[in-house]
Amino acid sequence: MWLCVYIVAAIMTLLAAGYLYERIAEAGDRRRFPPPGEVIRVNERRMHLFMRGAAAGPLVIIEQGLASPSLLWWPIQESVARFARVCTYDRAGYLWSDPPAGRRSIEDRVADLHTVLSQCGTPPPFVLVAHSFGGILVQEFARAFPGEVAGVVLVDTPDHALMFRESSLRFLRQGLAIQKVMRFAAQVGLVRLLGKRLNLLLPEDEVGYALTVTPAHSAAVADDMRCVLQANRTAREPLPAGYLGDVPLLAMTHGVAFPGPAAVLEEGWDEGQRQLLSLSTNSELVRAVKCNHFIPMEDPMLVVEAIRRVHAAAKEGTRLDVTGLPGEVVTSTSREAAASVA
């Protein structure tokens, strides 16, 4: 009897010590790593917007993928800033943006993005760049604000049919369960202590690691997953073919198949990419044959050049040209792909 009491008391003491350790570490990180960009107000919350560059033409806005903090895009952003004004921002709960009160929908995220862009100092239309889940948000932005889209770069983005089919949702439910465990572990400092030893795919740099081992980060990732699982009928419907008119759209897809449990996403992936191409009559598909899903990390200069091509086409009002893109890529002409889907 007393042994059980002592064991429970010891566990509770360790958890309390871990909780205190995490709170102290987070307070220290906030002092050591202030936001590098501008903090703006969005419905009583603070959101972080990081702007670079001053070149002419439409603003480039980068939308991060699920669980991918915006700082992973900073090397790409730095390169894009040489030919365009470009910004990254942190969705609610990520890095320097405040967590929201309660659960939030896909539409809520799109509303946040629109509010952020309304305060960025550059009028629409914008070139929207997105990775993975971020591409779903970009398409919903286009649905809500079609006149504010000058160009689109979709980096390994699933189409709606694949994103919302049962096998994909089951995969997300598994991820959501893992994030709930991660959040508890983060609250008592275990992710901070063990993240580097357990290969949790966290950023390796000091700033990125410190700001993604927090319970707020795990909660933000979980809510991203939850918003897909609870998406309403409108958000689950794909945009119709030709919806973007002749807005330049470049889709990039992986060449190395999804590993392990994520392999459920592979079936129908190529067909989905053709569906994405059909959104515009001025679109192209590029396959990064040596890259997995994380193309922005594996071949960042290919992504930079893709953004350059779309930005130039949007700025000059010309056809999108992927001739001579660096790296081992395979191009597919948009007009044939669009016709096959339509």
The domain locations on the chain are 2-32+170-229, 38-164+231-341
**Residue scoring higher pLDDT (14 or 59):** 59
DSSP H or E segment with residue 186: helix 166-187
Question: Can you tell me whether residue 48 is helix, strand or coil?
Answer: strand
- How does pLDDT run across 194-225, given as a tens digit for each residue? 877 666 567 778 888 889 889 999 999 999 99
DSSP H or E segment with residue 286: strand 283-288
- Cβ-contact 260, 311 below 8 angstroms: no
Per-residue confidence band for 340, with pLDDT thresholds at 50, 70 and 90: very low
**Residue scoring higher pLDDT (144 or 2):** 144
Cβ of 197: how many Cβ atoms within 10 Å? 7
CATH number among 3.30.1360.120, 3.40.50.970, 3.40.50.1820, 1.10.10.10, domain 38-164+231-341: 3.40.50.1820
Task: Kindly give the interhelix angle for 2-32 and 166-187, rounded to the nearest 10 degrees.
Answer: 100
Strand spans (E) along 30-170:
38-42, 45-52, 60-63, 86-89, 126-131, 149-155
Q: What is the mean pLDDT of residues 280-298?
A: 92
- Cβ-contact 119, 143 below 8 angstroms: no
Query: What is the reported pLDDT for 333?
Result: 46
Query: What is the reported pLDDT for 14?
Result: 73
Q: What is the distance of C-alpha 320 from the center of its chain?
A: 24
First vs last C-alpha separation in the chain: 71
Q: What predicted TM-score, i.e. pTM, was given to this entire model?
A: 0.90
Q: How far apart, in whole angstroms, are the C-alpha atoms of residue 179 and residue 267?
A: 25
Closest CA to 60 of 314, 323, 332: 314
Q: What is the distance of C-alpha 135 from the center of its chain?
A: 7
pLDDT at 328 over 80: no
Average pLDDT, the chain: 88
- How does pLDDT run across 300-309, given as a tens digit for each residue? 999 999 999 9
Residue type for 260, please? Answer: G
pLDDT at 59 over 50: yes
Query: Maximum distance among all alpha carbons in the chain?
Result: 79
- How does pLDDT run across 78-132, given as a tens digit for each residue? 999 999 999 999 999 999 999 988 889 999 999 999 999 998 888 999 999 999 9
Question: The tokens of 145 are what?
Answer: 């604000």
